[in-house]
């Protein structure tokens, strides 16, 4: 990813070059902050949802076309395996659509922030309007009684605004965390399930003999239909039993096992060399006595 580790200022980082490897080259993608930014974000995420839904449907269409083509070839191996690979591809399409649905759920959480922003904005506007009026009044008539009334009104409005802003800050943090936890959980689920399905898809392809055959010679008959069916059932079971973080847990489990093995090796007690020397000396003395008696 060719960007810096922050997205704060919207300009390239100084001194960045290709020799630095993978880096974020922008500090920010942020322009001037306005109260319309969140509605735009929510709308853009709606477009993202539509894109994933479209990708899912297209994937299923591709899967169907692959299955139909395989049947038309008249090749038993291609016909069987293309159909089963198509099932895998169709499942991948389902995962895309499910990902779209979960992004939409995440998007709805962000709407909570938007709704509170909309309720706070009139208070902000009223406060700013009152401040402007006070400034003008001070300039025109510093001794006006109305000025005192306006300042008292501003104190009350600021207190009300303070409560609203505090609530907005709390809800914004809470809902931002909730929304993107949902988002990243969905990304993880999508990635791990598609990785799982890809694994079985490649195992199915391994059953396809693509060894060149001399023209006129008969190819070995395809006899892997049962094995292919078992792989498909195994993939279905693995997908059904999938749990979040399962793949990362397997890596961690292997790593921990290696660590335990290494610790066990390090904890193995080495023999005391001084003890060995004493035993060896005593053994030699007993041997010499036996020889002299003989």
Which residues face 12 on adjacent strands? 26
Give the residue from 157, 159, 167, 168 showing the smallest Cα distance to 127. 157
3-state secondary structure of 26: strand
pLDDT tens for the 294 residues of the chain, in order:
544 443 445 544 444 444 455 554 444 444 434 467 899 999 999 999 999 999 999 999 999 999 999 999 989 999 999 999 999 999 999 999 999 999 999 999 999 999 888 888 888 888 888 888 888 888 888 777 888 888 888 888 888 888 888 888 999 999 999 999 999 999 999 999 999 999 999 999 999 998 888 888 888 899 999 999 999 999 999 999 998 877 654 444 444 545 444 444 444 344 444 443 444 454 455 444 443 444
**26 phi and psi angles, rounded to 5 deg:** -120, 140
Domain that holds residue 226: 36-210+222-245
Note the Cα 97 to chain centre separation in Å: 16
3-state secondary structure of 12: strand
20 part of a folded domain = no
- Sequence-distant (6+) residues with CB within 8 A of 201 are 85, 88, 89
- The span from the CA of 170 to the CA of 167, in Å, is 5
152 part of a folded domain = yes
- Sequence-distant (6+) residues with CB within 8 A of 232 are 84, 87, 88, 200, 204
CATH of the domain at 191: 1.20.1270.60
282 part of a folded domain = no
| H helices, E strands: number in the chain | 6, 0
65 part of a folded domain = yes
45 part of a folded domain = yes
169 part of a folded domain = yes
98 part of a folded domain = yes
Q: What pLDDT shows up at residue 103?
A: 96
Contact 38, 179 (CB under 8 A): no
Contact 164, 84 (CB under 8 A): no
287 part of a folded domain = no
Q: How many domains does the chain have?
A: 1
């Amino acid at each position: 990813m060719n960007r810096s580790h922050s997205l704060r200022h919207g300009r390239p980082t100084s001194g960045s070059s290709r020799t630095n490897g993978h880096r974020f080259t922008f500090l920010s993608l942020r322009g001037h902050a306005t109260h319309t930014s969140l509605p735009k974000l929510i709308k853009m995420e709606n477009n993202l949802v539509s894109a994933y839904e479209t990708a899912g449907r297209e994937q299923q269409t591709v899967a169907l076309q692959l299955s139909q083509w395989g049947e038309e070839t008249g090749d038993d191996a291609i016909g069987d395996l293309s159909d089963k690979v198509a099932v895998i591809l169709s499942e991948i399409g389902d995962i895309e659509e499910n990902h779209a649905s979960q992004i939409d759920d995440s998007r709805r959480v962000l709407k909570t922030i938007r709704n509170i922003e909309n309720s706070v904005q009139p208070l902000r506007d009223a406060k700013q309007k009152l401040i402007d009026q006070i400034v003008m009044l001070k300039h025109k008539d510093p001794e006006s009684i109305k000025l005192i009334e306006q300042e008292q009104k501003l104190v009350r409005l600021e207190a009300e605004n303070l409560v609203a802003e505090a609530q907005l800050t709390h809800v914004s943090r809470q809902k931002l965390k909730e929304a993107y936890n949902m988002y990243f959980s969905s990304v993880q689920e999508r990635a791990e399930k598609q990785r799982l399905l890809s694994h079985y898809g490649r195992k199915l392809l391994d059953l396809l003999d693509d060894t060149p055959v001399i023209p006129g010679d008969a190819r070995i008959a395809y006899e892997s239909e049962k094995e292919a069916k078992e792989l498909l059932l195994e993939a279905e079971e693995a997908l059904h039993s999938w749990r979040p973080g399962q793949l990362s847990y397997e890596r961690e489990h292997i790593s921990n096992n290696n660590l335990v093995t290494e610790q066990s090796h390090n904890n193995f007690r080495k023999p005391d060399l001084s003890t060995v020397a004493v035993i060896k000396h005593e053994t030699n003395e007993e041997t010499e006595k036996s020889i002299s008696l003989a």
